[in-house]
Amino acid sequence: MIFADYGFKDFINDSLTELKFENPTLIQQKVIPILNKNESVIAQSQTGTGKTHSFLLPIFNNIDLDNLDKIQCVIVTPTRELARQIFANIKQICKFNPAIKAQLLIGGEDLSSQINNLKIQPTIVVGTPTRLRRLYDDRHLKITTAKSVVIDECDMIFDLGFIEDVDFLISKINNNAKVSLFSATMKEDLKPFLQKYFSEAKLINIVKENPMNTNIKNILIWTRNKENKLIFKILLNQINPYVCLIFVNTKQYVPTVISWLKEYGIENIGELHAGLDPRQRTNMQKRIQNMEFKYIVATDIAARGIDIDGVSHVISVDLPNELEYYIHRSGRTGRNKYQGESYVLFNSQNQSLVDKLKSMNIEFSNMKVSDGQIVDIKIREKKQFTKKTNTKFEIEEAKIINKFKGGRVKPGYKAKRKAEIEKLKKDTRRKHIKESIAKIKKERYIKRRKDLFDNEG
């Protein structure tokens, strides 16, 4: 199948030619025919599979060119970065029909400027829930005329607490409008929302049909409870990334990882996290899209849904608290037809999280550190490794190490950590000695009883 088979309007085909899009991806093959017929869809597909154009192309194809001064489509996203990215995709298509106007409406941008731009209503708006709602409440945004609504990365909208704003916006739109939802993961908590608005929607689940992106090699690096900083350095010495995206769980931990990179002589480092002010985030996203950085340190919220060209390697220094986010992390690489590698640093403390990831049909290769190199774990070791042979000491040691890990640590933490580990070693040895003495006493007692029984016999 090729895009020409869909009968798109000429200006859309012209944009596809410039983008060098020839064959639709699987999600596009499933979704485009449904949206072309002005029907609703719930679509679940991995990141990097072409979700954005699966809804943008039919949106443009269904635009009423005689009513371009009325809002015909509203696209809602959880983050400013994702909204900017979708808006950039929209502008690429609008270039071939300048009469179609689109407007980006997100927080962190000048409100008065956005209000001024809405004096003439655009044909398409894309924005974040809170800003869209505010502009509607202040009677600047007239969304009642919209024929279609798209909610992108809906599970993240729910996680961030924006679902009520989205619910409000949908309630103000024409009852005949078609509402569609897109996400890479779908949570049980979304069911009430789905039942309310999507009873007639067509269900598309590419994740279920193709659970693994075969372009991505997922790799576990067993740290043996050594410091992540040491393992991180060894890993960076072994890989030669085109672009490497490094994930941490909190914005407080970002400066720590950046300091590691600088210690290794890497100075030009990108960062994406909620600690940047709106101007910094906008500037950073532009620089990232301009390929100015080889290494980018990010949190899940800031980097969710962002398409960064050329990401060859992803490193998760921590496993995300919401395990579904790992799918989004690894999905930053292996996009289109390119190959990618996604590394996870883990220890005995988060073994249970790894087991849960494996239960989600994610296949991992296993590696470890040996003689200053990261090497494959042999089959025999792998069997022991998967049986969770970590001792109680290793587990407790990992807890101590992780207690002193993060963006904010007090002076002298290394000495305190070392003292706690030494105490743990002494307590463990003392316990082992007691257990050995108890075992010997028990064996002697059993032997005496046996000897007494034999003599009496």
- Delineate the domains of the chain, giving CATH numbers in brackets: 3-209 (3.40.50.300), 216-388 (3.40.50.300)
Amino acid identity of 72?
Answer: Q
The beta-strand segments (E) located in 67-139 are: 73-76, 102-105, 124-127
Which residue's structure tokens are 């941490």?
248
Contact 19, 50 (CB under 8 A): no
To the nearest 10°, report the CA torsion of 41, 44, 49, 52. Answer: 40
Q: Are strands 373-376 and 364-370 parallel, antiparallel or unpaired?
A: antiparallel
10-residue block means of pLDDT along the chain (457 residues)?
92 95 93 95 84 96 96 95 94 97 94 95 97 96 96 88 92 91 81 82 80 81 85 92 94 94 93 89 89 94 76 92 84 83 89 85 88 79 51 68 58 72 79 76 68 55
What pLDDT sits at residue 389?
46
Q: Is 168 exposed, middle or buried (0-12, 13-18, 19+ CB in 10 A)?
A: middle
Contact 5, 168 (CB under 8 A): no
Q: Are strands 216-222 and 364-370 parallel, antiparallel or unpaired?
A: parallel
What pLDDT sits at residue 46?
76
CA atoms within 13 A on the CB side of 395: 8
- pTM for the whole structure: 0.73
What pLDDT sits at residue 248?
94
Residues 12 and 32: their CA atoms lie apart, in Å, by 13
Contact 343, 260 (CB under 8 A): no
Q: Which of 189, 196, 129 is nearest to 165 (CA)?
A: 129
